[in-house]
Amino acid sequence: MRGSETVHMDVAPGPIWELVSDVTRIGSFSPETFEAEWTGGADGPAVGAHFRGHVKRNGRGPTYWTECEVVTCEPKREFGFAVLNRGRALNTWRYRLEPSGSGTDVTESFELADALAFRLYWALAGRWRGRTNHEGMRTTLERMKAVVEAKP
């Protein structure tokens, strides 16, 4: 009930961190989340900060808002957030940045909460949803790569 994708980007972690930790820019990269905004007085990344994301499931629908909370915020190393339902984490997404050679390996990952409902869901639709998540993560990272590597 988890997965990850890694893409090497030929830049230092700083510019990548600026993209992954600015949730208001996710709509430029993600094939499912087309906009996000900080909520509850938050205006940037910090553990405990909340934001909401506007999602078009599978890029087609349904469309809905998700409540999220930042759970990891280590500048230039890791940014993670949990998608919440009534205050409980359903799914945790992370971006890990690891210096590698002259650039950075960037890993996007997800992990569903260990709950009976998710185990049943994963048993029934896991292969399909897992493939969708992997394709979406790869697309997101490749779009970010194009932006950070294009900067002078």
For the chain, 152 residues long, give each residue's pLDDT as a single digit of tens. Answer: 888 999 999 999 999 999 999 999 999 999 999 999 999 999 999 999 999 999 987 777 789 999 999 999 999 999 999 999 889 998 999 999 999 999 999 999 999 877 767 667 667 666 666 688 889 999 999 999 999 999 66
Domains of the chain: 2-150 (3.30.530.20)
Residue 17: per-residue pLDDT: 98
Residue 152: per-residue pLDDT: 65
Residue 57: per-residue pLDDT: 78
Closest CA to 83 of 64, 60, 58: 64
Pair 68, 84: CB distance under 8 Å: yes
